[in-house]
Structure 1
C-alpha cells in the first residue's frame, strides 16, 4: 500500500516536474538541463511534504528536520543523477521530453527505496514485531 501511495504522490510531483520542464523550455526558452534542475527542485519540495504526511504517514514533528535534511540530501543526489542521465539520453533521443521521461523512470525505484529505508523510516517500537 505504501508503494501505491508513493506512486500517487509521484504522479502529482511529476506533473510539477514534467509540466514545468515543458513550460520552461517552450515559454522561458531554457535549455533542457537547466529546466530539469529547476523543476526537479520544485517537485522535490512538494514531494517531501506529501510523502511525509500521506505516503509514509509520519506525524512526529520532532523528526521533520532530520527527515528534511535526509530528503533534500537525496534530492541533491537525485537531481545530478537524473540530469546526467538526461544529458546521456539526449544523445540518442532527439526530443528532450522522451529523454527526460526515460531518465526519471530509471531513477524512480532507487528513489523510492532510499526514501522508504533511509529518509522516512520511523524508529520501531519493541511491540511492533518483525519488519514489513
Structure 2
C-alpha cells in the first residue's frame, strides 16, 4: 500500500503530525490552539484499583486541587482513605465543579459496595489470622 502524497511531496500522515499543519492553528489569531488534556493513565488506573489508599494519596499529593474542590476540609478525604478508599477515590475523580450528577452516583455506590465487601471479607477471614483468640494451635 502506498501513502498518499500531496502537492508539496510529503505524505498526509507526516503533514498532520507537523508543527506547521494549518489545522492546528486558531481561525482568529493564527496561534496554536492549546487544548487541555485530562487523561488518566492506564497504569495509574490499575495501580489505584489494586491499592486505592495509595492511589488516593498520590492524587492528593500530585493534584491537590482535585481533592480540595471535592471536599471542604482535609478531614473527609483522610477518613475516606482510612474507611472507604474506593468510594473516596471515585468521588474525587468524578467530582466536577457542580458536584456529581446522574450516572456518577452509580460509580460511587458501586465503589462503596466494594469497600464494604472488602471489610466483610476481612471480618469473615479473621479466624485464620495467627494469634486470633479461639483458634486451635497444633
TM over 0.5: no
Larger CA Rg, structure 1 vs 2: 2
Report the TM-score when normalising by structure 1: 0.32
Report the TM-score when normalising by structure 2: 0.31
Higher RCO (C-alpha 8 Å, min separation 6): 1
- Kindly indicate which of the two structures has a greater share of residues assigned to helix: 1
